[in-house]
A and B are shown apart, each in its own frame.
Chain A
Amino acid sequence: DAGITQSPRYKITETGRQVTLMCHQTWSHSYMFWYRQDLGHGLRLIYYSAAADITDKGEVPDGYVVSRSKTENFPLTLESATRSQTSVYFCASTPGVSYNEQFFGPGTRLTVL
């Protein structure tokens, strides 16, 4: 029972490179979310998806691209990484809006040099 997984768990990249963070859930949850967490800012929502092929912006979407071709996967791409995108990224999922709990993955620590 894998639940929700993220890969890689740690990533170091350079400014200007493209980076894709993967999120996979085995529950067939409709909703998936991407958050970033920085010291002093708490968790901030980047993008979310209500279903396959449906995505929407969160609080801080600039510099990120998402896709949802399959229900179980929700990759987050930094098309041209910047140092300000150094952060810990968390993916989450939930069955639907009437469900009270979001289930979070273990996080990906990304460093942009």
Chain B
Amino acid sequence: DTGVSQNPRHKITKRGQNVTFRCDPISEHNRLYWYRQTLGQGPEFLTYFQNEAQLEKSRLLSDRFSAERPKGSFSTLEIQRTEQGDSAMYLCASSLAFRTGDNQPQHFGDGTRLSIL
């Protein structure tokens, strides 16, 4: 399968713990995005990378959240000191862009569902 891959699929943790998710994009895609989705809502943008550079972060992304894409390939999203409100599906997407503002469709993985006890 050459689609976007996310691990783990599910994560259950206690409040206050740190968690890290991984995303492997479609191999030729240079852009990678993170979204959060809660029940009954559409995905909400968190941040995106062009190659290894993090180009935009949402106001939703508190300082407890950090994302990296060290070699321009896979990415990790870490949440420190998790809170009940962090429970959600975290989705990763990738796309191929040739210039700023390019509007190619984003292709999503199946997400990591985070549950905070």
A binds B: no
Task: Give me the interface of A with B, judged by CB distance under 8 Å.
Answer: none
Task: Give me the interface of B with A, judged by CB distance under 8 Å.
Answer: none
